[in-house]
């Protein structure tokens, strides 16, 4: 108890020093009385304690205010080498300040995670012991100090980024160290997210081997009943709502997984809502994200910093085509079925959406040939699509018509103006730049169910207009609708009630679980 009192002393000292944090700390103290002692344990250990996190995040001087914006209210740490990751220090000059602030508890969890990663990352003593080929574990399973979660890639960049964020959140909840299997096509996209360590799984690790050689959790649950001590397990969360994958969120399964030192996880989904469904994680989830709608936004901005190569590309496009315009409108067109939806229908739906929502002015049908206004009146539409025809068509429409407001409307699609060197990762570098650029726009129109669009709007902190899916030629009366929630959609959520051993509709049990606006099968966690 003496230690606790000492902790409380430092708590009080801090109040005097950092008077601006006073109300925050008091509110925090009042709302977290039960857990306050857990948190102050951090002071005795080598972990960052929550008061330090808060104090370093808030300081009253101008310089510190700028710093606060740079470091996103304490979400990020300043200890990185600037020249190795320029975007980490300069993105605040391009992005509007996010209105969404990380909670003190999230900051505390991230600092603790960083310490764990520092102590257990590649080539540390614990890594060498646990991750070496044929490591021998005693029957009780984990005697090893560090446990690992190896993320493995599947499908496009949008899917990879939503699954990575979910996997990182799972790593935090389970005190595992996240290591990523980045092949050549993922190298050079992102900076290292964790200080003084690396998140890349070393290329010569056994866990780069073919996934089929690892035990799957089907074999563990169905055949072994979890009795066999295992070193590593392949946790395949593809097709989340079938087979045992449908039971990932059951606490009894999490208890079994807990004892396995190395999990190799594969998913193409934003499965963070599954972690909310897991009873044993829910309290932490609620404390880390009092505003559930910011889960991806905050974790994404924590993890994903464009590498210097990508950043240069983003900066060049931004300076050349977006910076000088009065307003920037991001438009992402993803068509799954190009044969059934004629180009003209898609263009008309898009224009109709932009005009109905006052993002762009209506055309002047009179052809009064009045000259466009010159100063301070241009808008740019940044078109992102696999196909250059949409950008080209929009461009020609806006070049050959005048608008009622006489504003100049420019259309720019990066992909067809660029001549890129071919290379393994060029496609992903371009995709990542465009995701990021969309997030720098003032308004956003995206396509339904696109994970690429989800990442763009969530990172940007925006609720986009989402085009209605169309098939055939008719354009819906309401061509697009604004998303109510910022989180990506979990397309194939589980539907298994672990207690009742029965199928269930979670939206009828939890008042803060909703179906996605763009896919009724999907699920989102919302605020209540």
Ligand X SMILES: *[C@@H]1O[C@H](CO)[C@@H](O)[C@H](O)[C@H]1NC(C)=O
Among 49, 56, 197, 385, binds ligand X (CB under 6 A): 56
331 SS3 class: strand
Q: Contact region for ligand X (CB under 6 A) — 57-65, 154-162, 262-270, 317-325?
A: 57-65
Residue placing its CB nearer to ligand X in the complex, 80 or 506: 80
Residue 152, strand partner residues: 181, 266
Residues 435-464 contacting ligand X, CB under 6 A: none
* 405/463 Cα distance (integer angstroms): 26
| Cα–Cα distance for residue pair 51/503, rounded to 1 Å | 44
With binding defined as CB under 6 A, does residue 66 bind ligand X?
no
* Spatial separation of the C-alpha atoms in residues 61 and 222, rounded to whole Å: 60
Burial 67-105 (b: 16+ CB within 10 A, else e): ebeebbbbbbbeebeeeebbbbbebbebbeebebbbbbb
Candidate list 9, 13, 19, 46; residue touching ligand X; CB under 6 A: 46
Kindly list the distances between the CA atom of residue 359 and the CA atoms of 219, 432, 441, in Å, as whole numbers in the listed order. 54, 25, 12
Please tell me whether residue 369 binds ligand X under the rule CB under 6 A. Answer: yes
Phi and psi dihedrals of 168, rounded to 5?
-65, -40
Residue 59 found at the interface with ligand X (CB under 6 A) = yes
Between residues 290 and 342, which has the closer beta carbon with respect to ligand X? 342
Q: Which of residues 190-229 bind ligand X (CB under 6 A)?
A: 202, 204
Residue among 179, 353, 445, 475 that touches ligand X (CB under 6 A): 475
125 forms part of the interface with ligand X (CB under 6 A): yes
Segment contacting ligand X by CB under 6 A, of 220-228, 397-405, 442-450, 515-523: 397-405
Window contacting ligand X (CB under 6 A); options: 128-136, 235-243, 251-259, 270-278: 128-136
Residue closer to ligand X by CB (options 101, 297) is: 101
240 binds ligand X (CB under 6 A): no
DSSP type of residue 190: B
The correct pick among 84, 184, 283, 316 for binding ligand X (CB under 6 A) is 84
Helix (H) / strand (E) containing 405: none
- The Cα–Cα gap between 130 and 136 comes to 8
* Rounded Cα distance, 126 and 132, in Å: 10
> Given CA atoms 247, 251, 256, 258 in this order, what sign does their dihedral have?
positive
Instruction: Determine the Cα–Cα distance for residues 23 and 27; give it in Å rounded to an integer.
Output: 6
Site for ligand X in 150-179 (CB under 6 A): none
Q: Is 128 in the site for ligand X (CB under 6 A)?
A: yes
Binding of ligand X at residue 366 (CB under 6 A)?
no
- Rounded distance between C-alpha atoms, residue 237 and residue 260, angstroms: 17
Enter the tokens of residue 338: 């190009």
Q: Least Å distance between CB 352 and ligand X?
A: 9
Nearest to ligand X of 124, 450 (CB atom):
124
**Out of 8, 22, 29, 123, the residue judged to bind ligand X by CB under 6 A:** 123
Task: Identify which range of 36-44, 155-163, 333-341, 432-440 contacts ligand X by CB under 6 A.
Answer: 36-44
Binding to ligand X by residue 326, rule CB under 6 A? yes
Among 9, 19, 35, 81, interactor with ligand X by CB under 6 A? 81
Q: Is 83 a residue that touches ligand X (CB under 6 A)?
A: yes
Between 359 and 475, name the residue whose CB sits nearer to ligand X. Answer: 475
Q: Does 53 bind ligand X (CB under 6 A)?
A: no
Rule CB under 6 A: which of 131-150 touch ligand X?
Answer: 133, 136, 138
d(CA 247, CA 254): 9
Q: How many amino acids of this chain bind ligand X (CB under 6 A)?
A: 38
Distance CA 407, CA 39 (A): 56
- Dist. CA 310–CA 433, nearest whole Å: 6
Q: Measured between alpha carbons, how far is 461 from 499 in angstroms, rounded to an integer?
A: 36
Question: Are the C-beta atoms of residues 280 and 251 closer than 8 Å to each other?
Answer: yes
Distance of CA 66 to the CA centre of its chain: 24
Distance separating alpha carbons of residues 39 and 48, to the nearest angstrom: 10
Q: Which two tokens stand for residue 365?
A: 């049908």
d(C-alpha 461, C-alpha 101), whole Å = 11
Beta carbons within 8 Å of 229's beta carbon, 6+ residues apart: 137, 138, 139, 140, 141, 259
Footprint on residues 482-501 left by ligand X (CB under 6 A): 501
Q: Which stretch binds ligand X (CB under 6 A): 53-61, 212-220, 272-280, 420-428?
A: 53-61
Collapse the DSSP code of 499 into the 3-class scheme (helix H, G, I; strand E, B; otherwise coil) and give the result: coil
Q: Which stretch binds ligand X (CB under 6 A): 361-369, 405-413, 491-499, 511-519?
A: 361-369
Cβ at position 520, least distance to ligand X in Å: 25
- Does 42 help bind ligand X (rule: CB under 6 A)? yes
CB of 129 vs ligand X, minimal distance in Å:
9
Question: Could you tell me the smallest distance in angstroms from the CB atom of residue 451 to ligand X?
Answer: 28
The window from 5-13, 38-46, 381-389, 430-438 that contacts ligand X (CB under 6 A) reads 38-46
Residues within the interface to ligand X (CB under 6 A): 41-42, 44-47, 55-56, 59, 61, 64, 81, 83-84, 123-125, 128, 133, 136, 138, 202, 204, 326, 344-345, 348, 363, 367, 369, 376, 396-397, 400-401, 473, 475, 501
């Amino acid at each position: 108890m003496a230690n606790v009192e000492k902790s409380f002393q430092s708590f009080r000292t801090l109040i005097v020093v950092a008077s601006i944090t006073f109300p925050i700390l008091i509110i925090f103290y009042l709302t977290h009385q039960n857990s306050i002692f857990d948190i102050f344990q951090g002071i005795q250990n080598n972990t960052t304690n929550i008061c330090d996190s808060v104090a370093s995040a808030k300081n009253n001087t101008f310089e510190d205010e700028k710093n606060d914006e740079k470091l996103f209210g304490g979400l990020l740490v300043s200890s990185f080498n600037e020249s190795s990751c320029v975007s980490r220090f300069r993105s605040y000059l391009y992005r509007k300040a996010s209105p969404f602030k990380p909670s003190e508890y999230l900051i505390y969890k991230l600092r603790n995670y960083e310490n764990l990663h520092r102590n257990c990352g590649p080539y540390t003593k614990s890594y060498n012991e646990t991750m070496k080929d044929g490591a021998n574990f005693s029957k009780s399973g984990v005697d090893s100090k560090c446990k690992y979660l190896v993320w493995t890639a599947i499908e496009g960049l949008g899917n990879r980024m939503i699954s990575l964020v979910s996997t990182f959140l799972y790593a935090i909840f389970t005190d595992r160290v996240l290591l990523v299997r980045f092949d050549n096509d993922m190298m050079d996209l992102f900076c290292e997210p964790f200080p003084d360590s690396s998140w890349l799984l070393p290329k010569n690790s056994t866990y780069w081997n073919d996934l089929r050689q690892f035990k799957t959790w089907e074999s563990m649950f169905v055949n072994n009943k979890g009795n066999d001590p295992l070193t590593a397990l392949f946790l395949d969360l593809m097709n989340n709502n079938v087979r045992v994958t449908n039971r990932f969120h059951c606490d009894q399964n999490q208890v079994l997984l807990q004892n396995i030192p190395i999990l190799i996880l594969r998913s193409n989904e934003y499965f963070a809502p599954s972690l909310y469904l897991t009873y044993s994680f829910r309290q932490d989830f609620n404390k880390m994200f009092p505003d559930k709608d910011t889960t991806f936004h905050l974790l994404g901005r924590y993890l994903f910093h464009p590498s210097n190569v990508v950043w240069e590309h983003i900066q060049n496009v931004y300076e050349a085509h977006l910076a000088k315009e009065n307003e920037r409108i991001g438009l992402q067109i993803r068509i799954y079925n190009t044969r059934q939806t004629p180009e003209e229908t898609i263009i008309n739906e898009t224009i109709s959406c932009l005009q109905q929502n006052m993002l762009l002015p209506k055309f002047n049908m009179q052809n009064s040939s009045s000259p466009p206004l010159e100063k301070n009146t241009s808008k740019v539409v940044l078109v992102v699509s696999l196909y250059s025809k949409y950008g080209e068509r929009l461009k020609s429409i806006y070049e050959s018509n005048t608008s009622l407001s006489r504003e100049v409307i420019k259309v720019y699609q990066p992909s067809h103006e660029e001549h890129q060197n071919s290379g393994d990762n060029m496609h992903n570098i371009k995709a990542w730049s465009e995701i990021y650029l969309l997030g720098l726009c003032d308004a956003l129109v995206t396509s339904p169910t696109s994970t690429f669009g989800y990442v763009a709007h969530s990172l940007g902190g925006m609720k986009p207009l989402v085009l209605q899916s169309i098939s055939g030629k008719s354009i819906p009366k309401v061509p697009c609708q604004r998303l109510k929630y910022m989180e990506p959609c979990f397309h194939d959520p589980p539907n298994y009630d672990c207690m009742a051993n029965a199928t269930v509709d979670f939206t009828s049990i939890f008042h803060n679980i909703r179906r996605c606006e763009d896919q009724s099968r999907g699920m989102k966690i919302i605020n209540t």
